Structure 1
Amino acid sequence: MSKVTSRNKVYFVGAGCGAADLITVRGAKLLGLADVIIYAGSLVNPELLEYAKKDCEIYNSATMTLEEVMEIIVNANQEGKMVVRLHTGEPSIYGAVQEQMHILDEKGIDYESCPGVSACFGAAASLNLEYTLPDVSQSLIITRMEGRTAVPEGESIESFAAHGATMAIYLSTGMLEELQERLLKGGYDKNTPAAIVYKASWPEEEKYICTVGTLANTAKAKNIKNLAVILVGDVIAKSNYSLSKLYDKDFETGFRTPH
């Protein structure tokens, strides 16, 4: 590995968005070295556990509380065992990792993060989509609807929709009628392209291109109720964009002079 591993560390590893081979090389190696793995069983592909060594202790956090998870991590660390906390996707996005890190800080336990492929990037790959097309959109907004977890004031769907940028909306499939209404209220036209990608990169992946005005009906017709990322923006049409200056024959870079 490019970084030296330590048995005195806890490793937070991003599992990727679904397919077992979309975990990073570093993440797979960490799984193979771990004495203890605690994985998010409700969302992490169980095939990833095949990277673990035979005598590894494996726990499914789907049935556990934060206190129970941390008790296992802390006890294992004190016993000199290497721990991997395996989170779905990319842990820095809706991963609930900071609260775990805070407890480790309080106990003086060292930890490190290994990034993963988030669902919006798995969805983009599935659709062969570029989120940032010149003269169409140069920004990607990653957000979610408020549910049991609140959204800070000033981060409403309407306020983000007003930018007209590309949006990737997580954890909101069960509220698509409201989401659709708020996207329209915020400023997207009803004919703005949209997409629903269910379980991106999993064998059972489903993907549907629609519009903002047909989001709710599309999901209802296809019986998509959860585990999907919603994409919104004109980039989905893959049209009316300018070519990148990076490869323009008249554009000078540090590696190429104009012809």
Structure 2
Amino acid sequence: MRESTGNLCYGKSMLVVDPGVYIVGAGPGDPDLLTVKAQKLLAVGDVILFADSLVPEQILDVCRKDAEIIRTANQTLEEIVAVMVEKVRSHKSVIRLHSGDPSLYSAIHEQMQLLAEAEIPFEVIPGISAFQAAAAKLKVELTIPGLVQTIILTRISGRTTVPVSEELAALAAHQASLCLYLSARHVEDAQAKLLAHYPEDTKVAICFRLGWNDEKIRVVPLHQMAECTHQEQIIRTTLYVISPALSSTKGRSRLYHPEHSHLFRSSHHEKG
């Protein structure tokens, strides 16, 4: 007897998947950062479509040996969706691998619309995003009490424009922990807009291909952000983390403070 969870069924020994599309977050690059659910799906999926320019091939090591692997870096959205629809209608399970987390800059919105129009069932499996992997690598918390409590995930306008109300200059005014995606080709423009609001010595972590074998992480003052990017010859697959948290040794959460009480613990004074 199998226990059903959506389109996934857990038998006595393995995961059984119904025909459909599973949009899976592959994380930033390190195969060890795949979620357990992502690993289980990759181990049983019939067809794997992956953006080979953004997802390292080592992640495919967990796939079935007889799985059909389809590279999609040189395909259009319409071509990719057509393949997924054809495979599902042939009663196959399709794993669509996206880098990072599908909810961020993954172009899944239009894929889901087309799949729904074709009456193809699909499910989305979240993944670790680059900003989370970056914070872990840097050994920082991006929300430090009394210093910064907001994280902004954004990009600068380029071939894909951003709404006027979300322009980088406006967001930088908050001086929050700002995680800048897809902006290496416009780094001079980004630096100028950031410098209008952040002090020039604010630390910036330049994170190139996090989790890949050729990963690079450089931490520099904001005024050297563009210079370092050019010196390292970085033009893509880069995340910039701009935050006062990168240089702070101050701040303590109230959650674990001895004078703070909550549902599961009385305060020090209440115990006395």
TM over 0.5: yes
2:191 corresponds, among 180, 187, 199, to 180
CA distance in 2, matches of 1:2, 1:245: 41
1:193 corresponds, among 203, 220, 223, to 203
Asked if structure 2 preserves the Cα contact closer than 8 Å seen for 1:10 and 1:110, the reply is yes
Q: CA RMSD in A?
A: 1.4
1:140 equivalent to 2:146? Answer: no
Identity %: 37
1:105 equivalent to 2:116? Answer: yes
Once the 2 structures are TM-superposed, how far is the Cα of residue 104 of structure 1 from its aligned partner? 1.0
1:205 equivalent to 2:205? Answer: no
CA distance in 2, matches of 1:86, 1:196: 25
Once the 2 structures are TM-superposed, how far is the Cα of residue 21 of structure 1 from its aligned partner? 1.2
1:119 equivalent to 2:119? Answer: no
Secondary structure at 1:69's aligned position in 2? helix
1:244 corresponds, among 253, 257, 271, to 253
Letter in 1 for 2:44: L
Asked if structure 2 preserves the Cα contact closer than 8 Å seen for 1:123 and 1:201, the reply is no
Letter in 2 for 1:144: R
Using structure 2 for the length normalisation, give the TM-score. 0.91
CA distance in 2, matches of 1:134, 1:188: 19
Deviating runs (4+, > 3 A) in structure 1? 1-4
Secondary structure at 1:204's aligned position in 2? coil
Secondary structure at 1:188's aligned position in 2? coil
CA distance in 1, matches of 2:116, 2:235: 38
CA distance in 2, matches of 1:140, 1:177: 22
What is the number of equivalent residue pairs in this alignment? 257
Asked if structure 2 preserves the Cα contact closer than 8 Å seen for 1:126 and 1:201, the reply is no
Deviation by residue 1:6-51 (Cα, 9 ceiling, x = unmatched):
4132100000001111111100110111111100110101011111
CA distance in 2, matches of 1:217, 1:117: 29
CA distance in 1, matches of 2:103, 2:4: 21
Find the counterpart in structure 2 of residue 129 from structure 1: 140
1:24 equivalent to 2:31? Answer: no
Deviation by residue 1:51-71 (Cα, 9 ceiling, x = unmatched):
111221111110111111111
Asked if structure 1 preserves the Cα contact closer than 8 Å seen for 2:158 and 2:186, the reply is no
Unpaired runs of at least 5, structure 1: none
Asked if structure 2 preserves the Cα contact closer than 8 Å seen for 1:173 and 1:224, the reply is yes
Letter in 1 for 2:227: N
Letter in 2 for 1:245: R
Pair 1:58–1:212, CA change in 2 (3 A) = same
1:47 equivalent to 2:58? Answer: yes
Letter in 1 for 2:139: N
Letter in 2 for 1:106: E
Once the 2 structures are TM-superposed, how far is the Cα of residue 173 of structure 1 from its aligned partner? 1.0
Deviation by residue 1:177-220 (Cα, 9 ceiling, x = unmatched):
111011112x1121112110111122211111111111111222
Find the counterpart in structure 1 of residue 224 from structure 2: 214
Find the counterpart in structure 2 of residue 161 from structure 1: 172
2:89 corresponds, among 78, 90, 93, to 78
Secondary structure at 2:239's aligned position in 1? strand
Deviation by residue 1:74-100 (Cα, 9 ceiling, x = unmatched):
011111101110001101100000101
Using structure 1 for the length normalisation, give the TM-score. 0.95
Pair 1:167–1:2, CA change in 2 (3 A) = farther
Find the counterpart in structure 1 of residue 14 from structure 2: none
